[in-house]
Chain A
Amino acid sequence: NAGVTQTPKFQVLKTGQSMTLQCAQDMNHEYMSWYRQDPGMGLRLIHYSVGAGITDQGEVPNGYNVSRSTTEDFPLRLLSAAPSQTSVYFCASSPWGAGGPGETQYFGPGTRLLVL
């Protein structure tokens, strides 16, 4: 199993540009999520999905869109990039645990995004 894969590893954007961060998992996990990691702020949930066709907002959803057309893929779209979106983005997936989804999250290697 490849686990959770993310592409690209690094990206530079200009303010106002749009792009899609890719995330895929091969573990047949129902729950997938996107986080951003900023110094001193831990990981903050952007959006999550509990299955194909079902998405919901996290703590910091503004400026980001998601969709989930398959179990495997969960892309994150930046509509109009801003310098405040400079961050490291992590995708994670999780099976449904005893108490709900997200109990054991498997994280991808991250995408480092710089918005100029």
Chain B
Amino acid sequence: QQQVKQSPQSLIVQKGGISIINCAYENTAFDYFPWYQQFPGKGPALLIAIRPDVSEKKEGRFTISFNKSAKQFSLHIMDSQPGDSATYFCAANLNTGGFKTIFGAGTRLFVKA
């Protein structure tokens, strides 16, 4: 019940295209949904995040869409660039019964020039 399921495992997008990564969760006690970006050999870094009372959040080319009733959220990367090639993790924070962040399995994005 504490899982966060992420798809696809890998994604290849042409430069200028839209990259879409999807995540789903079961536990309705999750109250914060961040996305992290990780480049090879580096630690993850927070990219963008959303709270469940908001349906969409946009920061530059990155947008989170959140569907509370479906328990799904997604990351859209508009005008994808080769520099966006990285692994992306969705996550969900739980602040009841402890303070934990549960991560999805990750999506390896490759943007072709």
Binding site for B on A (CB under 8 A): 4, 31, 33, 35, 40-45, 48, 50, 56, 58-59, 90, 92, 97, 99-110
Contact A99 B51 (CB under 8 A): yes
Contact B46 A105 (CB under 8 A): yes
A-B contact count (CB 8 A): 75
Contact A59 B32 (CB under 8 A): no
Binding site for A on B (CB under 8 A): 2, 6, 9, 31-32, 34, 36, 41-46, 49, 51, 89, 93, 95, 98-106
The prevalent SS among residues of A at the interface is strand
- Chain B residues near A42 (CB-CB < 8 A): 6, 89, 103-106
Contact A107 B101 (CB under 8 A): no
- Residue in chain B with minimal CB distance to A107: B43
Contact B43 A109 (CB under 8 A): yes
Contact A45 B49 (CB under 8 A): no
User: Closest 7 interchain pairs by CB?
Assistant: A107-B43, A100-B95, A42-B103, A43-B103, A42-B105, A101-B99, A42-B106
Would A41 and B93 be within 8 Å (CB), given that A90-B43, A103-B49, A109-B43 are in contact? no
Task: Find B32's partner among A35, A58, A99 (CB 8 Å cutoff).
Answer: A99
- Residue in chain B with minimal CB distance to A97: B32
Query: In the docked arrangement, what's the CA distance between A33 and B94, Å?
Result: 14
Query: In the docked arrangement, what's the CA distance between A104 and B101, Å?
Result: 11
